[in-house]
């Protein structure tokens, strides 16, 4: 267990800009050398790169961007991780699967996801009870948050998703202090508690991720005495940035390098300009270098008032590929296109995501002839793995604006 200081999980969080850059510049050379010499996956991307040529974040622009499609392709050719793991001293104890499918390694006793600093910044402390409502089913989120909590010394209820009645009863009986999960699922637990007349006033902290945290959602939790903070993370990389002050920019995690680039180019944008987020994790066991998240964001000027000194980003500003998260799961245009390909009678589809009672709501509008009585629900759910309301509309009704997924939240 880590030795904790008053307000910060590690001393690295408050180091000077020069100290941080000096460390990164030295570590980058080691990271590139490790990736080139000890992993098979980076052989092509780093073939013409000499490790000593990468001495700064600016130098990373010499390296091609690594995209999920390439990672998935290499994993099929070289299971399970496409050769991106080190060929020696492999520490993997778990295999995870995220949509794609993409497979990720996991290990016990090491906070590879780096969630401990986020939890600690939110107020989570040793001895507290954390109800972990992130999924433990194939995806790594549940285990990532658990490892972070255990590193602090927090007691964990591995509750996962669903079963709101049991969740509410457990939270009351075990005196849950902290909720961890998607932004909207806590509402379901609280509503079930109200319905069953169960006192859940012991929940004081909500550490959320896996989807956008909207201001009305945070306000609703605040009215119940719950402090709610968000992290920005992915299954492949773990935690990327954390929130420490409400509605302020997110602070980049100390275990990653974030670049903001023009989508499709890999070239850095100007400060404050919105672009695609690329992440390099500083993990010698499973290095991912210039990994494209597909998310859009921008760097924010200045440092946080909380005392953490790392670079800040403005948070999520959409997807480069129109994908959006619904109830913690990605909905992607290619899934909608697959649905259309299975039904030639459908001429156009538009997915609309909105908030209903502070919870994600998905509506799929399809253009079909008015006399079509076919039920598409089972086939759609088989493709997108989400519940959705299907509305049939007449041909030439939907806007011709190129939007497949419209996020109205």
Q: What is the pLDDT of residues 86-96, one digit of tens each?
A: 866 567 889 99
What confidence score (pLDDT) does residue 99 get?
80
Residues of the chain with CATH 3.30.300.30: 324-407
pLDDT surpassing 80 at residue 198: yes
Could you read off the pLDDT of 311-343 as tens digits, one per residue?
A: 999 988 877 777 788 888 888 878 888 888 888
Domain with CATH 3.40.50.12780 in the chain: 88-235
Question: What integer pLDDT is reported at residue 87 of this predicted model?
Answer: 62
The two tokens of residue 280 are 């390099």
> pLDDT higher for 3 or 272?
272
What's the pLDDT band for 402 if we cut at 50, 70, 90?
low
Closest to 250 (Cα-Cα) out of 266, 231, 263: 231
Measured torsion, CA atoms of residues 71, 31, 255, 135, in degrees rounded to the nearest 10:
30
Long-range contacts of 80-84 (CB under 8 A, 24+ apart): 80/105, 81/41, 81/105, 81/286, 82/41, 83/39, 83/40, 83/41, 83/42, 83/43, 84/39, 84/41, 84/42, 84/286, 84/287, 84/288
Cβ–Cβ under 8 Å, residues 139 and 152: no
| pLDDT, the chain, mean | 91
In this predicted structure, the answer to whether residue 401 has a pLDDT above a threshold of 70 is no
349 burial (CB, 10 Å; 0-12 / 13-18 / 19+) is: buried
The pLDDT of residue 2 is 45
| Alpha carbons 348 and 380: distance in angstroms, whole number | 14
> Does residue 320 or residue 389 have the better pLDDT?
389
d(CA 176, CA 167): 10
pLDDT at 90: 66
Highest mean pLDDT among 67-76, 339-348, 372-381, 397-406: 67-76
Say if residue 5's pLDDT is above 60: no
- Residue 88 has what pLDDT? 60
Which of the residue ranges 39-48, 331-340, 365-374 has the most confident prediction, judged by mean pLDDT?
A: 39-48
| Highest CATH level, class, for 324-407 | alpha beta
- Answer yes or no: are the C-beta atoms of 131 and 180 closer than 8 Å: yes
Tokens linked to 16: 């000077």
Mean pLDDT, range 4-11, rounded to an integer: 78
Q: Assess contact for 128 and 134: CB atoms under 8 A.
A: no
* CATH superfamily of this structure's domain 88-235: ANL, N-terminal domain (3.40.50.12780)
The CA distance from 211 to 328, in Å, is: 5
């Amino acid at each position: 267990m880590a030795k904790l200081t008053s307000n910060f999980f590690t001393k690295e969080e408050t180091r000077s800009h020069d100290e941080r850059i000096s460390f990164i510049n030295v570590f980058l050379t080691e990271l590139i050398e490790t990736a080139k010499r000890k992993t098979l996956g980076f052989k092509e991307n780093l073939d013409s790169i000499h490790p000593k040529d990468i001495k700064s974040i600016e130098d990373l622009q010499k390296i091609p961007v690594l995209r999920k499609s390439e990672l998935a392709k290499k994993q099929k050719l070289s299971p399970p991780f496409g050769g991106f793991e080190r060929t020696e001293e492999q520490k993997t104890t778990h295999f995870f699967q995220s949509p794609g499918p993409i497979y990720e390694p996991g290990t016990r006793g090491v906070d590879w996801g780096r969630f401990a600093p986020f939890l600690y910044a939110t107020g989570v402390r040793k001895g507290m009870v954390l109800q972990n409502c992130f999924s433990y089913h194939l995806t790594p989120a549940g285990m990532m948050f658990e490892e972070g909590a255990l590193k602090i010394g927090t007691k964990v209820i591995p509750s996962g998703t669903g079963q709101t009645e049991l969740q509410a009863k457990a939270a009351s009986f075990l005196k849950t202090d902290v909720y961890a999960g998607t932004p909207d699922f806590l509402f379901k637990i609280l509503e079930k508690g109200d319905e069953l007349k169960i006192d859940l006033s012991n929940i004081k902290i909500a550490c959320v991720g896996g989807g956008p945290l909207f201001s009305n959602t945070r306000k609703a939790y605040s009215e119940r005495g719950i402090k709610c903070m968000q992290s920005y993370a992915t299954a492949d990389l773990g935690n990327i940035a954390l929130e420490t002050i409400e509605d302020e920019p997110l602070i980049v995690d100390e275990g990653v390098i974030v670049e903001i680039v023009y989508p499709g180019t890999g070239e850095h944008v100007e400060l404050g300009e919105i672009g695609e987020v690329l992440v390099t994790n500083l993990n010698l066991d499973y290095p991912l270098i210039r990994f494209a998240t597909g998310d859009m964001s921008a760097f924010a000027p200045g440092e946080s008032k909380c005392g953490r000194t790392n670079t800040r980003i403005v948070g999520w500003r959409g997807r480069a590929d129109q994908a959006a998260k619904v109830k913690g799961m990605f909905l992607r245009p290619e899934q909608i296109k697959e649905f259309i390909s299975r039904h030639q009678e459908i001429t156009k589809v538009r997915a609309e995501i909105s908030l209903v009672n502070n919870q994600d709501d998905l509506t799929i509008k399809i253009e079909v002839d008015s006399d079509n009585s076919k039920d598409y629900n089972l086939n759609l759910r088989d493709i997108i793995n989400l519940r959705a309301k299907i509305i049939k509309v007449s041909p030439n009704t939907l806007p011709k604006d190129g939007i497949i997924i419209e996020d109205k939240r």
